[in-house]
Amino acid sequence: MGLFDDDFYSTKISRRHLRRSPKQEGWRAPKHRKKGLSTWQVSLISSLLSAIFVVLLFVIFTGLNSARNPVDLINTVSADPFNRISVAADKVSPSVVSILNHNEFSRSNPDDAALGSGVIFKQDDGKAYIITNSHVISGADDLEVVSSDGVSREAEIVGQDSINDIAVLSIDGKGINSVIELGDSDSLRAGETVIAVGNPLGLGGTLTSGIISYTSRLIPISLNQDGVYDWEQKVIQTDAAINEGNSGGALVDLKGRLIGINTMKISDTGVEGLGFAIPVNDVMKTVNGIMQYGKVVRPYLGVYTLDLDNPYAPIDAEQRKQLKLPQNITSGVIVLEAHGPAQLAGLQLNDVIVQLDKEPIASTRELRKYLYDEKKVGDTLEITFYRDGKLQTSNCKLTDKPSEAEIEAGLGDR
């Protein structure tokens, strides 16, 4: 029941007052009964009570009855949605450095130095350690690191891996007070806001933001820049602006955690917003190997190869005749040089590898991925190949992959 006798208010007299039971036949109201509240008075009181009740609820749920400053409440409600980007940037920026790769020309003119970025990820025993891209320090004679406070330090190379394009540097840790927090690149979602921090065009400490466009993209790359794709790099795709000099810098989430190392962008007419970063989980696998061994331990076959169907250097009819291949063999890997394990297994010039452990191999990229993804140092590998038109097999025991310096000295690259 409500405030009145009827469940729903009516200006008419309720019919229940018009009915009388047999026991009420002789009843009469006293002549001088006290007059009750009129309808409009009851309505007014109800409205006032309702208003008071609403105000009390507002006070309870908003906390205005506390000692909190009302201005603070307004600021909280109308907080800048981009404030999280600023907070994350403040957290990350001190751990991002600029890298100058000096050459013979830049010693007299620093503007000629190759530019890049790096991220301080560890401090230990008076040293600070930096992650960057391998291509940033390629051919380095003299590496200079400039921290966010403008202090310049000489850097030494701890190790590098051209396959995953990751390198680790060390600098004097004095005055270094910030180390970046590592995130989890496997938990990323498309559309998540990210921040890129680095040294584009020599403008150190530059911040750009965007979203994750794709969480796990496979990009074919040419490791020796000969135009032939011989590896696939797993990357995070983002539309955050990445320019020359950003390579090796940090891609972070809104909590200021490192989720990737910026590595490249697609630069072409009509192309915009295609930047890539190496996922931090993959980065740290490489970094841990470098920190422990000075390099990444990978199985080594020891062949320098050319794809049979290489579009940039196709073999002509005369060359194919020399290989004596069956007409139905249109893909495979031609051995140009054999070193180490491959040489011990008997491989030689113009052998055409078509299978590894009975798995079809059509290109150098497939050969490399099978070795690195499926095998480890000490494993035995069965190689199926054509020599002078005859199909043969040979077993090879895989060894540790030589260092970059050893490879550059001519020991092969796979």
| 211 residue type, one letter | I
Higher pLDDT, 4 or 297: 297
What is the average pLDDT across 320-337? 92
What one-character-per-residue DSSP string does 226-272 give?
SS---EEEEEEEE-S---TT-TT-EEE-TTSEEEEEEEEE---TT--
Residues 346-391 pLDDT 10s:
999 999 999 999 999 999 999 999 999 999 999 999 999 999 999 9
| 25 residue type, one letter | E
Q: Which of 48-52, 84-88, 155-159 shows the highest mean pLDDT?
A: 155-159
What is the average pLDDT across 39-68? 60
For residue 216, what is the enclosing H or E element? strand 206-221
Instruction: Identify the active-site residue in 247, 253, 307, 339.
Output: 247
Question: Which range, of 68-77, 130-139, 210-219, 261-270, averages the lowest pLDDT?
Answer: 68-77
In the chain, % of residues over pLDDT 70: 74
93 is catalytic: no
The rounded distance, in Å, linking the Cα atoms of 39 and 108 is: 97
247 is catalytic: yes
Give the residue from 132, 311, 306, 113 showing the smallest Cα distance to 224.
306
Q: What is the pLDDT of residue 407?
A: 59
Q: What is the pLDDT of residue 64?
A: 42
The rounded distance, in Å, linking the Cα atoms of 178 and 93 is: 9
Is pLDDT at 286 greater than 60 in this prediction? yes
In the chain, % of residues over pLDDT 90: 56
For the chain, helix, strand, coil in percent to 5 are 25, 30, 40
Is pLDDT at 54 greater than 80 in this prediction? no
Is pLDDT at 332 greater than 70 in this prediction? yes
What is the average pLDDT across 134-140? 88
The rounded distance, in Å, linking the Cα atoms of 67 and 374 is: 65
Q: What is the pLDDT of residue 78?
A: 39
The rounded distance, in Å, linking the Cα atoms of 274 and 268 is: 10
Higher pLDDT, 275 or 385: 385
The rounded distance, in Å, linking the Cα atoms of 278 and 233 is: 8
3-state secondary structure of 78: coil
Specify which residues 396 forms β-bridges with. 381
Instruction: Identify the active-site residue in 98, 147, 161, 165.
Output: 165
Give the residue from 87, 289, 282, 85 showing the smallest Cα distance to 185.
282
Residues 196-205 pLDDT 10s:
999 988 888 8
Residue 22: band (very low, low, confident or very high) from pLDDT cuts 50, 70, 90: very low
Is pLDDT at 255 greater than 50 in this prediction? yes
Instruction: Identify the active-site residue in 134, 135, 185, 282.
Output: 135
What is the average pLDDT across 265-272? 53
Give the residue from 363, 412, 405 showing the smallest Cα distance to 220.
363
Helices (H), 27-181: 39-62, 70-77, 83-92
Is pLDDT at 343 greater than 90 in this prediction? yes
| 278 residue type, one letter | I
Q: What is the pLDDT of residue 4?
A: 35
> How much is the mean pLDDT over the chain?
81
Q: What is the pLDDT of residue 313?
A: 77
DSSP E strand stretches across 126-205: 127-132, 142-146, 152-161, 166-172, 181-182, 193-198
Q: What is the pLDDT of residue 107?
A: 65
Residues 388-413 pLDDT 10s:
999 999 999 999 977 666 655 654 55
Q: What is the pLDDT of residue 408?
A: 59
Is pLDDT at 84 greater than 60 in this prediction? yes
Residue 326: band (very low, low, confident or very high) from pLDDT cuts 50, 70, 90: very high
Q: What is the pLDDT of residue 11?
A: 36
Residues 182-196 pLDDT 10s:
999 999 999 999 999
Is pLDDT at 317 greater than 50 in this prediction? yes
